[in-house]
Amino acid sequence: MPVTAPDLSRGPGARPAECRRPAVGVGIGAKPGPWRRVRPAHGPRRNQLIPRHPEPEGILANPALRRDTEQVTSKPSGLDPAVTERIGRLLRAHGLRRMPSRIQVLAVLEPVNGHLSVAEIHQRLTACLSAGTQPPDLATVYRTVTILVDQGVLHALTLDGGVTTYGLATAPHHHAVCTQCGAIIEVPARQLSSALEHAMAGSSFALSERAGLTLRGLCPACQDSVQDLGDATDPRPPR
C-alpha cells in the first residue's frame, strides 16, 4: 500500500487534503467547514499596531484646526473678526491661549472706559452673542477674569459694598467712582502725575508703577439728574 508523503508546504501539523471536511450549509446548524485559517476582510493584520485611543472626529481630527485640548476656536460667534484678532494678539503677547471665554470677556470690557462686575460682564455677553450661541456661565466668567488678573491683562477694583469689578490693565490710570450709581471711570495717570509727585515730595514713600487713586464723586449722568431734581424742587420762580 503506497504511503502518501505529508504536505510540508502547509507547515507542521497541517492536515492532509483528504482529511479536510468541506463546508456544508450556512448559519445555525451548519456543519463546520474546512480547518483552515481565514484572514478577516476587515481588521488589523497580525503585525499592525492598534492605537490605544482612536483619533477623535470633528474639529480635533483636522490638524489645521487643532491647537490644543481646550476646545479652542478661531473666533467666537457674534463678535467682530477684527476685535477677535486684536484680542487674540493681546492674549498671545501675555503667553495665553485664545480660548473663547477669554476673547468674549475681553471683547465686552474693551469698549468700556471703566470697570464691570462679573454679573455685568455675563449680562452683556448674553446680549451681544448671536442667537444659538451659548454664553459662558457665571462660574466660567469668574474663573476667566481671575486668570486674566493674575496674568496682568485685567486689574480688579473692590468697591465699598464688597463688589469686585474688572477693567483692562492697558495703561496706568486712576479710578473715579460715582457715589450715586456706582459707575467707574478711568482717569489717565498722567493727568494726576504732577500732583502726586508734589504730594509725595515731602515723604520717603515710593509709589509703585501700578499705584492708583480711587476718587469719589458724581458721574456726568448723575450730575444732570441731581441738577434736574434741584430745578424741579426749587421753590423760587424762574427769572
Angle at 115 (CA atoms; ends 128, 185), nearest 5 degrees: 120
* Integer Cα distance of 83 and 85 in angstroms: 5
Judge whether 219 is annotated as a binding position: yes
* Integer Cα distance of 149 and 190 in angstroms: 23
Q: Do residues 215 and 176 make contact, with C-beta atoms less than 8 angstroms apart?
A: yes
In what helix (H) or strand (E) does residue 124 lie, and over which residues does it extend? helix 118-128
Judge whether 128 is annotated as a binding position: no
Q: Residues 6 or more apart from 206 whose CB is under 8 A from it?
A: none
Q: Which three cell numbers stand for residue 217?
A: 464723586
Cell 494678539 -> residue: 89
* Integer Cα distance of 134 and 141 in angstroms: 13
Binding-site residues for Zn(2+) sit at 178, 181, 219, 222
